[in-house]
Amino acid sequence: MDPALIWILAGLVLLGAETILPGVYLLWVGLAALGTGLMLLVAAPPFAVTVTVFIILLAAGIAVALRLRRAAPARPQVNTPASGLVGRPGVMMDPGPTGLRVRIGDSDWAARLPREVEPVPVGTRVRVEGVDGTTLVVRPE
């Protein structure tokens, strides 16, 4: 079998495996193998040159992947307490065994007051200023 076809077949198998396996690791190896196979269809260099071309194409693919990864925007903060709770009003509840609690909408959250704020009575309306893990930082309105 022609070496060019072997490289192309290996590249196609790797690209096919990429669709089944998670991640994008086999993509770059498969593309480098395809590129090497296409180069072998055009010219018939010695084996050392073929391997060198494959390594260069693989390194270029990895460099592109790293550049794309660095340029990707940050993931949105979906389904995190900070995503929709900051700025929302709530009501102080009876403190539980673990500390202050605040009701926002139909949910109860662990809460804390900023250091400079005095303790507030139950039923006081508060507003969420921030989130510290799963504890809301609230301030009386």
Per-residue model confidence as pLDDT tens digits over 50-77: 999 999 999 999 999 888 888 767 666 5
* pLDDT, greater one: 53 or 118: 53
State the Cα–Cα distance between residues 91 and 31, nearest whole angstrom: 58
Q: Is 120 exposed, middle or buried (0-12, 13-18, 19+ CB in 10 A)?
A: middle
Domains of the chain: 3-71 (no CATH), 85-140 (2.40.50.140)
**Angle at CA 91, nearest 5°, toward 127 and 134?**
65
Give every CB contact of residue 22 below 8 A, 6+ residues apart in sequence: none
Q: Is the pLDDT of residue 83 over 70?
A: no
* Percent of residues, the chain, with pLDDT higher than 70: 91
Residue 1 pLDDT level (bands cut at 50, 70, 90): confident
Q: Which of 69, 93, 85 is nearest to 135 (CA)?
A: 85
pTM (2 d.p.): 0.53
